[in-house]
Amino acid sequence: MALQNLNVLLGVTGGIAAYKAPDLVRKLTGLGANVRVVLSPSSAAFVTPLSLQAVSGNPVHQYLLDPEAEAGMGHIELARWADVLLIAPATAHCIAKLAHGMADDLLTTLVLATTAPVFIAPAMNQQMWAAQATQANLAIIAQRDITLLGPASGEQACGDIGYGRMLETIDIAEQVDHAIATMPNVANNPLTMSEHHAVDDHTNSLPLQGKHIVITAGPTREAIDPVRYISNHSSGKMGYSLAMQAVEMGATVTLISGPVDLHAPAVCRVLQVQSALDMHSAVLNTVNQGCDIFIACAAVADYRVADVAAQKIKKDNDEMQLTLVKNPDILADVAALPTPPFTLGFAAETHDVEHYARAKLTRKKLNMIAANDVSRDDIGFNHSDNALTVFTPETQISLPKQDKLALAKQLLTIVAKHVSTH
């Protein structure tokens, strides 16, 4: 446990998810951390200082000017005490203040005053998360070595469904613990896991700055007639998570998306397509205009109907036969360009995952492939979590089950390291 005996300063801001703060304190102390809590002015409307003091065993801090602090400067003393600063939940208002360096309360002042690594777990309505202002603020934060944890997608307190839900407390605690394990200067311990099992922390806060990344996401729909189509179970969450994290890591992103019910980062260029032929055309046109990295995350239909009916097919017969023809291979065509970008493919398999992934890597002459087992019922299609094994011709790296946003950041960190030597 990397958090063993470390001092974690937990900041709680005024969102409905603040009610989970006592449980988060328990999860952090369960990993061996010493926890102190700082409340924003509005958070006390959702969770009481007494409850947080009871679970942490330490006084709760609320005020910037604290007469009980040594020398009357509690913000400096707490900033020096902290080995880790975690804000959960982090509201849109809090994120805006962090982006612009405001220090009008104890918590935001601590962010400026500490040298400890800072983590934030956003929590807000899905439309507030997708808002252009919020996405712009997140892009600024990404330049300041603040690590984003989540958010997850799901049902929200207001009844909406989408991204903006705070990660579960156990996921937040474990992701912070995992991140600290890759920062040996924090815990004064050497990195103990090999690259085969973990991803080294990238020292550049914007490792993809100056790169144009083209990402495909979601399913395609292959028409049978004007009202019916062939498709698959892809939700697009992995591709959209990659786009979001790529923006935060400094890249210019073009997201080419099949039909999904997701909001893309406001600063992305988004091309909406329906069929595999549509996606093939959009990808090649975009890549040929200049592209450094191509990530084929979409679940593109392998086949399409040879003759699409002009009118709705009636149920006049007990049987119907469809003739299917193979769709063009988008990933292989990009990799075969005279000057191809760095190409990352995905292999969604139900069995013999490594065998098929390695074969695809070699056959299509890719730089990298990320494989996942879609036969599992806890990850992959239509889930917020995923797990990947990343293969290159020389290496293999396992990324364990976690939220797709966190997984996307780890995968892009690997990509950035390989691109720098490509």
Task: Provide the token pair at 284.
Answer: 């090649």
pLDDT single digits (tens) 278-298:
999 999 999 999 999 999 999
What pLDDT is recorded for position 199? 39
The domains found in the chain, sorted by start residue, are 7-187 (3.40.50.1950), 212-419 (3.40.50.10300)
Nearest by Cα to 389 from 349, 421, 422, 331? 349
Nearest by Cα to 241 from 163, 132, 187? 163
Confidence (pTM): 0.55
Q: What are φ and ψ of residue 139, in 5° steps?
A: -65, -35
The set of catalytic residues is 158
Average pLDDT on 60-75 reads 62
pLDDT single digits (tens) 319-367:
889 999 999 999 999 999 999 999 999 988 878 888 999 999 999 999 9
Q: Which residue has the higher pLDDT, 135 or 307?
A: 307
Is the predicted pLDDT of residue 15 greater than 80, yes or no?
yes
CB atoms within 10 A of CB 38: 27
Burial bucket for residue 371 (CB in 10 Å: 0-12, 13-18, 19+): buried
- CA angle, residues 210, 212, 218, in degrees to nearest 5: 145
